[in-house]
A and B are shown apart, each in its own frame.
Chain A
């Protein structure tokens, strides 16, 4: 008992921190979600201001988010005027003129469904993930900054993962 107490006291003493500073700021997940999309689109397209066309069954959620939290993403009402198309949630078909544009999805499944989909920002196993497809970026001559290295996968691996048999 005595030993235990002295052990706990020892721990208590070692807990005194060197820099007692704390940045008390509380970010909203909805805001961060848009910030991530904003950064991704800016880095994919290499430009500051990006025009986005949103389609899919979750489009309302993402449109609202972009309107509320992003200064650099601008919503457009058709593919013609868009720099990138965001496939938000489930989607069965895409208007013909959108297929020429870079696509980006919030579901991993859309990567194998749409050839023009460069990547996805999606949830899996309770964690947010980003994946970018190497070949598809190269096709469009996109070179991503180094910080994205860990998120870039080759096309073969991405479809293998989708089937879930990679052991």
Chain B
């Protein structure tokens, strides 16, 4: 079986960091073994798109305790916060308060919100202690995963219990009086089973601001739990995430929600079974629940577009409350047929989404309570998908990928049913020992989520990406690697706010032409310098930075690990207000007192010049800006036992 797919494996193998020496020294052999055994070599899929990889070493040296810590430097995106203080990634030039085009996976399970499509409300602070590595795929139309379409896929892979045989405790305190407590254990249970268990509690205390004598806060309490039980041919995973945070600006007319909260909970279970020993057949069953309670109040009123009364302002909302519940059932069955040169994947999947609004009301400025319930009759959606993808290796150095995914949507409440096709053609080639190239030609779409239709009280069409072409080249020269790439993407019917703030499909087509260059140089074994610059050529939108870069140094000396990262984003103009260019500098040192105990110190936004997100004050039209995080220092102790 292994032999038959050798051609395909060789291609992906050669694309990885190559094993350089065959010295017989035991230390060298051990290092080589470790390199060759890295988990990402098993999980990464070049066919999914253009990969940004954070290995376990990177995560540890960068002290990336939160998922968001890794996203700061992602090319073509700028980290931001929306009006509710929730993380978002704005594509260069764009302004996406809720990034519905980003999918987050924990292992093979998608955890993006069933309500909005964005994963960040619940999962932005997901601790990476029990995580082995993170793969970020840029690219339109990844087919193989069989889940909702995306343009950015973040895959978080947990540690492999058989290789851990350890438990660990981390305590972190921040200079802003926030804290993290994380405990996990990953071990072999008996000869057939192993487990991973993690429990966390944290309080993310961020700087409070004041506007017109009122406090503006976005502090949040986060809890996560994860349990995975693994055997050779099956796995069962349970995940739980909870957030309780202050509403930040919320919908407030004066940009200050005086009272309120957002409480959200995610709970999922996923069962994966490989019925045959060659693992060519895969069956997945999963259940997802998402609960969300939101309350806010502002004496100046709330600007919620669908509830606004232009004729009588007293009918406009002052308090808003909602308690909604969402669920998803997924069934997925795939079969992989392999021959010497071909790997054909066929899969079918069924997904059932439900939305149930337990209570949704607002109290007007005039003091009247209005129950609104579901603002649209659409609360149930079924998606049937059929996937076909073929990877054909012309020879061990050239691989062609072709795939299609048919999605059929059935929606209730009189909302129209529709079907969509994702198609993709890719080519990966190792031109010579130095140069490899990768290109994709795709078409795809992004569906509207429950939130989009609720908030706009109308049916919305899918966002279409009729054509996307992306290309990437990698030049491997001794200890230096140079990456470069470009793309062209056309976006039609983007979901954007209309002049009243309700979402609608934009009539026009937008073109995006991304361009990037990356450099990576290894100095000896222990030091690595990375730099990158990315931009959009002739951007059509300029509501956020249109170019940016980063510089990162990762170092190990004796018992010390250190890192420094500078992320640059270009300045821009937002509704007439100039937002300056930004330099976000983070740095940290880890001291390994022993194999079991380490002490870490990290500082972020050291220069106080991190990127600021602009917000319009609905009452005045004025624009205000705030960074995601002000200068903060973190002190951590980690004990492995």
Contacts and interface: CB of A to CB of B under 8 A. Distances in A.
Contact of A39 (B24, B568, B593): B24
Interface stretch (A23-31, A76-84, A110-118, A135-143): A23-31
Nearest to A129: B30
Interface in A68-103: 89-90
B519 A17 contact: no
Contacts of A123: 162-165
A156 interface: no
A130 B29 CA distance: 11
A32 B36 contact: yes
B478 A20 contact: yes
> In the complex, which of the residues B13, B477, B479, B641 has the most CB atoms of chain A within 10 Å of its own CB atom?
B477
Nearest to B192: A57
A147 B596 CA distance: 24
A127 interface: yes
Nearest to B34: A128
Contacts of A126: 56, 132, 159-160, 163-164
Contacts of A58: 191
Contact of B18 (A15, A23, A35): A23
A23 B519 contact: no
Given A167-B594, A167-B596, A8 B33 contact: no
Contacts of A54: none
Contacts of A17: 477-480
A164 B595 CA distance: 10
Contacts of A164: 596, 640-641
A33 interface: yes
A47 interface: no
Interface residues of A, number: 49
B33 A36 contact: yes
B210 interface: no
A148 to B, nearest CB: 6
Given A22-B433, A29-B37, A123-B163, A148 B26 contact: yes
B16 interface: yes
Contacts of A124: 164-166
A22 B596 contact: no
B312 interface: no
Interface string B26-69: 11011011101100000000000000000010000000000000
A36 B27 contact: no
B164 A21 contact: no
B36 A28 contact: yes
Interface string B93-133: 00000000000000000000000000000000000000010
A35 B33 CA distance: 9
B596 A8 contact: no
Contacts of B500: none
Contacts of B433: 22, 24
Contacts of B593: 167
A66 interface: no
Contact of A40 (B26, B36, B529, B597): B26
Given A15-B480, A151-B26, A27 B32 contact: yes
A31 to B, nearest CB: 8
A167 B478 CA distance: 40
B512 to A, nearest CB: 21
Contact of B25 (A16, A122, A147): A147
Interface in A1-20: 1, 4, 8, 11-12, 15-20
A71 to B, nearest CB: 14
Given A8-B533, A40-B26, A164-B596, A23 B36 contact: no
A128 B33 contact: yes
A24 B14 contact: yes
B38 to A, nearest CB: 9
> In the complex, which of the residues B24, B30, B56, B593 has the most CB atoms of chain A within 10 Å of its own CB atom?
B30
A123 B29 CA distance: 15
B190 interface: yes
A26 B10 contact: yes
Contacts of B34: 127-128
A134 interface: no
Contact of A22 (B132, B190, B477, B568): B477
B381 interface: no
Contacts of A36: 26, 29-30, 33
Given A17-B479, A22-B477, A128 B14 contact: no
Nearest to A11: B531
Contacts of B476: 22
Interface in B530-555: 531, 533, 549, 551
Given A32-B32, A167-B594, A21 B478 contact: yes
When A and B form their complex, which 7 residue pairs have the shortest distance between CB atoms, in order from nearest?
A57-B191, A164-B641, A32-B33, A26-B13, A29-B37, A123-B163, A17-B478
Interface of B: 10, 13-14, 16, 18-22, 24-27, 29-30, 32-34, 36-37, 56, 132, 159-160, 162-166, 188, 190-191, 433-434, 476-480, 482, 517, 519, 521, 529, 531, 533, 549, 551, 568, 570, 581, 593-597, 639-641
23 contacts: A11-B531, A11-B551, A15-B480, A22-B434, A24-B14, A26-B13, A26-B14, A26-B19, A28-B36, A29-B33, A32-B36, A36-B30, A39-B29, A108-B165, A123-B163, A123-B165, A125-B165, A126-B56, A147-B26, A147-B27, A148-B26, A167-B594, A167-B597
Given A4-B549, A90-B188, 5 more contacts: A11-B551, A26-B14, A27-B19, A32-B29, A35-B33
